[in-house]
Structure 1
Amino acid sequence: MNFDENVIEDLAELERFILMIESGVLGLEGVAGIGMATSNADGRHFVAVFGDGHKLLLGRWVSDEVFANGKDMVQNGIKKQ
């Protein structure tokens, strides 16, 4: 599992991150889904990229604001303008 220590601070950055995952730019193999999660160890929030069998492929910390307001974007994908 790869965990990026950078923090996604705003919704525009979350959108860019999701688009990178969807386009394959990050080179992740076997992506099955994306979700928001909370660390049991310290309560911090993160975006989780899951593979088969719910294996965590990549995690990236998010701010409290992004966690509260970005759930719809993660769940439903990016709306094309």
Structure 2
Amino acid sequence: MIDDNLIIETLDDLEAFLRLVENGGLGLENVTGVALATNNSNGRPFVAVLDDKHQLLLGRWVTQDVFDNGKDIVRNGPKKAH
């Protein structure tokens, strides 16, 4: 499920979203991965929260800049808050 009204526009927003997922703040169960992807029908980029069967649990649209520059953040996880 992707909410069309929620768009991650900055790398800081992406890190905050990933921390929220890691900390269980969204109430999702069986989360095993996060990936940047593109919608097959329109090519629009999004961050996907996946379960153990690689099924989409939750998605958030991201800007092209976040998609292009956020790959390391998604791959390595957000920086730890101080």
**TM-score of Structure 1 vs Structure 2, range by shorter chain:** over 0.9
| Alpha-carbon distance, 1:78 to partner | 1.4
Deviation at 1:8, TM superposition (A): 0.5
2:18 alignment partner in structure 1? 18
TM-score (norm 1): 0.94
The one-character-per-residue Cα deviations of 1:8-54 (angstroms, maximum 9, x if unpaired) are 00001001100000000000000010000001100000000000210
Partners of 2:14 and 2:8 lie apart in 1 by: 6
The separation in 2 between residues aligned to 1:66 and 1:41, in whole angstroms, is: 20
Q: Secondary structure at the match of 2:32?
A: strand
How far apart in 2 are the matches of 1:58 and 1:11? 18
- More helix per residue: 1 or 2? 1
Unaligned 5+ runs, structure 1: none
TM-score, length of structure 2 as denominator length: 0.93
Aligned residues: 80
CA-atom RMSD, angstroms? 0.9
Identify the residue that residue 75 of structure 2 maps to in structure 1.
75
Would you identify which runs of 4 or more consecutive aligned residues in structure 1 move more than 3 Å?
none
Q: Which residue of 2 aligns with 1:4?
A: 3
Gaps of 5+ in 2: none
The 1-side partners of 2:43 and 2:17 are apart by 22
Does the residue aligned with 1:61 lie in a helix, a strand or coil? strand
Q: Using the aligned pairs only, state the percent identity.
A: 55
CA distance in 1 between partners of 2:79 and 2:58 (Å): 23
